[in-house]
Amino acid sequence: MAKPPKKSPSRLLSLAGMTARIGSDVARDRWQRLWQKDIDSSAADAALYTRIGREIAATLGNMKGAVMKVGQIISQYRDVLPAELIEALSSLQNQAPARPFSEVEARLIEAFGSDWRQHFQRVDEIALASASIAQVHRACTRDGREVVVKVQYPDVDQSIKADLRQLRMAFKIARVLPVNGELLDAIFEEIRQSLSDELDYFLEANTLQRFREFHQDDPLVIIPEVVVALSSRHVLTLIYEPGDHFAELDARYDQATRNALGERLFRSMARQLFILKTVHCDPHPGNFAARRDGSIIMYDFGSVKTLSDAGVQRYASITEAALANDAQRLEQGLIAMGARNTDHTPHLDAAFYAPWMRLAGASIGDDIVKYGEFPLAEIAMKLSREALPHWRAFQPVPEQVMINRAIGGHYWNLRELRAELAMRPEVLAWTSAALA
């Protein structure tokens, strides 16, 4: 049986203990380097980041709740975090176990009163799915509509600020993000705002409607309808839209269907970025499903991000530069975006960018890319290790935290689908339109 998240002050004690252990480890590491002149710095860095990652993963995984979600978000920083830290944090991507129905029933009583069952013919008390901050139950409304009811865990929103403050301190001590204190504050504020939005189901209901309207020109992109009368700030009821999760696709899904699904997913996300300028930012495979007619179903719109026109144009510009093997334009675009720390490294030449541009070209090709076989993540991890001396030449951009999470996550979804696509012409059409 799943345990609920720890409550304050035990949560704060857990995070404070984690911070103290990380601080002690970092201090010991620095002391050893001071006195052991022949130490292999690269090996020492790798060992330290692995230990820090395991410490953070163990603490956050045990605490559950919103702070575990923070760990999941941070683990998507594959472009700026040390590879060893990413590997250790990857355990936080696993699905959280469901809680007893008696715990989440408190939210239903809060929303609809003690006689909440009168609104339903049936509510399945065994959760259909669960995550770090909520779980979902199948149900049937009084008027016979099959629905799913997403119920937020009680008290999950009460400890976010304190948890984030302590976690930020741990990252500052560990120095695993190549940023100054001001930028670190901005990153954690972006994460805090994203989590705050994700906990507001009224906001998610409005977002669902906006995305339904945007995608209505493609009947094979399915976004569930909100049952407004049975929704509240902490309970969201949607029409049940069944499908097969990507990891469950079997022989009934031939290669042509898999390609259609991958193309639809790719196109939907690109249109959100370059046209709607608001992106579904939780690429967890459980938030998507497929049907044999080529339909894609999108669930969970709690995490979305709206970009400014300038932000979209910056994405378009660096995409074009990478695909054109234009290192100078890519360098300038990353500087304009704020992703390049020129105070630490004023200039990076074409030789540094060349393997990354080759990887971009191979992953978005004129020719067919077999995503099920294409080892993008493995190549990127290898390049990240080789680029370790230039690690602090880059820094995360707060506005892009959630967008980059979506982009990175959907590579894994295309890989799971084993889609075979040639999307470069469409990508360049979207970027050209964004820059026009």
Q: Which of 212, 241, 270 is the last residue before a domain boundary?
A: 241
Q: Is the pLDDT of residue 62 over 90?
A: no
pLDDT tens per residue across span 220-277: 999 999 999 999 999 999 999 999 999 889 889 999 999 999 999 999 999 999 999 9
- 393: pLDDT strictly greater than 60: yes
Q: What integer pLDDT is reported at residue 38 of this predicted model?
A: 77
Higher pLDDT, 290 or 54: 290
* CATH number reported for the structural domain that contains residue 208 in this entry: 3.30.200.20
Is residue 5 one of the residues assigned to a domain? no
Residue 79 has a pLDDT of 57
pLDDT at 1: 45
Q: Are residues 212 and 298 in the same domain?
A: no
Residues 232 and 255 in one domain: no
> Which residues fall within 8 angstroms of residue 117, CB to CB, at 6 or more apart?
123
Number of neighbours of residue 28 by Cβ within 10 angstroms: 11
Question: Is residue 64 pLDDT above 80, yes or no?
Answer: no
Confidence band for 49, pLDDT divided at 50, 70 and 90 = confident
Q: Does a structural domain hold residue 391?
A: yes
Q: Are residues 308 and 214 in the same domain?
A: no
188, part of any domain? no
Q: Distance from first CA to last CA of the chain, Å, rounded?
A: 55
Same-domain check for residues 294 and 305: yes
> What's the pLDDT tens digit per position in 273-308?
999 999 999 888 889 999 999 999 999 999 999 999
CA angle, 203 as apex, 200 and 209 as ends, to 5°? 140
Average confidence (pLDDT) over 55-77: 70
Q: Which domain holds residue 121?
A: 97-130+133-157+199-241
Asked, for residue 369, whether it belongs to a domain, the answer is yes
Cβ burial of 258 (10 Å; 0-12, 13-18, 19+) is: buried
pLDDT digits (tens, 9 = 90+) for 326-361: 999 999 999 999 999 898 889 999 999 999 999 999
What value does the mean pLDDT take over residues 356-372?
A: 95
Residue 27 sits in the same domain as residue 108: no
Q: Report CA-CA distances (Å) from 299 to 48, 104, 108, 205, 296.
A: 38, 20, 21, 12, 10
Same domain, 236 and 251: no
Question: Is the residue at 59 inside a domain?
Answer: yes
282 is catalytic: yes
How many structural domains comprise the chain?
3
Using a 10 angstrom Cβ sphere, with 0-12 exposed, 13-18 middle and 19 or more buried, the burial of residue 225 is: middle
Query: Is 420 found in the same domain as 297?
Result: yes
Tell me if 393 is assigned to some domain: yes
Instruction: Indicate which residue of 244, 282, 309, 343 is catalytic.
Output: 282
How far are the Cα atoms of 80, 111, 435 from residue 212, in angstroms, in the given order?
34, 25, 26
**Chosen domain end from 241, 271, 301:** 241
Residue 89 lies in a domain: yes
Please tell me whether residues 318 and 217 are part of one structural domain. no
pLDDT exceeds 60 at position 127: yes
Report how far residue 403's alpha carbon sits from residue 300's, in angstroms, rounded to the nearest whole number.
16
The pLDDT value given to residue 427 = 96
Is residue 395 domain-shared with residue 250, that is, in the same domain? yes
> What DSSP line would sit under 18-29, residue for residue?
HHHHHHHHHHHH
* Residue 180 in domain: no
Weakest mean pLDDT among 21-35, 110-124, 154-168, 364-378: 154-168
**Same domain assignment for residues 291 and 384:** yes
Predicted confidence (pLDDT) per residue in 3-17, tens digit? 555 555 677 788 788
pLDDT class of 95 with cuts at 50, 70, 90: low
Residues 352 and 211 in one domain: no
Q: Do both 339 and 204 map to the same domain?
A: no
State the chain's mean pLDDT as an integer.
Answer: 88
The string of pLDDT tens digits covering residues 229-240 is: 999 999 999 999
- Whether the per-residue pLDDT at 92 is higher than 80: the answer is no
